Amino acid sequence: MNGPKKRIAILISGRGSNMKSLIEAARRPDFPAEIAVVISNRPEAAGIAWAKDQGIPTLAMDHKHYSDRAHFESQLQSILSASRIDLVCLAGFMRMLTPAFVESWRGRMLNIHPSLLPAFKGLDTHERALAAGVKFTGCTVHLVTPEMDEGPILGQAVVPVLTSDSPDSLAARVLAAEHRLYPGILELFAAGLITINGHKSSSASDVNGLSPQFSPQV
């Protein structure tokens, strides 16, 4: 790896299962990023306790204790700046961020969504996928922009939809794919191996033969 590791802040609101996969991946000596801080807007979130037990710096910022969204985000920005954060990873962060805050992190904030964007943006993705009768769904890592689930797609993983699926069973298989996809895309992105051109991204891994389930290959 060339140069210093990128410093990552992970924002969560709950159990933080994708956070755990990022932390585990970042333990590798050759991983191009380090988890500098985990921040939750819910003090009771199970993920914040787990991260603390792993020796990761953590902070609970109860959004209910702030006068408004701008106040919350100004304090969040101060923490990110003080922590010298290079990239922000949203991992089940269930709070809408204002366009101004998102713009300040344009090109430096990642999110994972449980569908193959641009299909099934927003909530209830698995229920909607089953109702639509699609044969494949999956997950997407994308850059965050002010428009919800609209940012450039950095990578996707495909999951088959089974005739026996319920929303819960489908969600479980998609989540397993998320746990592989998110660390892989963060590794490529932090290493500078994914480039953005307008609304599209490309990766050097494209030329190495793609897996039919993961793109880029991770």
Q: Which residues are catalytic?
A: 113
Q: Which two tokens stand for residue 49?
A: 């306790």
Phi-psi region of 97 (alpha: psi -120 to 50; beta: other; left: phi over 0): beta
DSSP reduced 3-state for 108: coil
Residue 97 CB-density burial (10 A; 0-12 exposed, 13-18 middle, 19+ buried): buried
Give the C-alpha separation, 12 to 3, whole Å. 28
Instruction: For residue 210, count other CB atoms closer than 10 A to its CB.
Output: 13
As a whole number of angstroms, the distance between CA 86 and CA 186 comes to 12
d(CA 197, CA 85): 24
Strand partners, 105: none
